[in-house]
Amino acid sequence: MTEAAIYFANLRKNYGDLSVLQGINGQIQRGEVVAIIGSSGCGKSTLLRCFNRLETVSGGQLVVNGIDLSTPNLSAKSLQQLRVRVGMVFQQFNLYPHMTVLDNLTLSPCKVLRLSKAEAEERGRFYLAKVGLAEKATSYPDQLSGGQKQRVAIARSLCMQPDILLFDEPTSALDPELVGEVLEVMRTLAEDGMTMAVVTHEMQFAREVASRVMFLNQGVVEETGDPREVLTNPQCERLQTFLSRMNGLEV
């Protein structure tokens, strides 16, 4: 078996006396798309943020892309390697409003990867085309719809050519009619073999695109497995209740 892209064992995260992740175990293989689902406050976004060290773990082991993030004193070099190779797409787009779309895409490749302006722009235009926005290179963020902004945010992450992409509810801030265009980009990335961990409430996306679904409840992984099996025939009562509340999904 190849080395897992993400591996965690007895992973714990506490905020003072509040235990958010309670000794969970799991792994994500390279090329896998894992949908992380669960009710608000179950710990799924905290888990995702641990994967790129936006949150430090309180205990257990976490290895992401070969870097042990459970090391108390992670070196600045290791942290930079992690951030370069593990991209993250947030709910909010976090684009610089005073910069064009292309400039938003080329900033990190120039500053972090030391690409020339020409190389970065070539890469930026390639990934803009990949997300269907080649014609928006000279536009500014406030000239784009929410769905277009999120696709630009995805293209920006792709410009770093990461090994792993993390998505924290990437469609939750979008109007319903704009959700599909973002999910279609993510579907294409999955077909291209990108390793992805996706915190989402989009059950249809999880069912059709994810390799595996992971259900968190109160900081514990209660059920995981093939999406079609887990989402059609959930074994634990809490997952049955959760799915029964989701619009458009019959249990």
Tens of pLDDT, residues 234-246: 999 999 999 988 7
27 burial (CB, 10 Å; 0-12 / 13-18 / 19+) is middle
* CATH tag, 6-94+163-244: 3.40.50.300
pTM of the predicted model as reported, rounded to 2 decimal places: 0.92
- Which residues have C-beta within 8 Å of that of residue 251, sequence separation ≥ 6? 232, 234, 240, 243, 244
Parse the chain into domains and list their residue ranges. 6-94+163-244
Q: What local confidence, expressed as pLDDT, does residue 249 receive?
A: 43
Tens of pLDDT, residues 7-63: 999 999 999 999 999 999 999 999 999 999 999 889 999 999 999 999 999 999 999
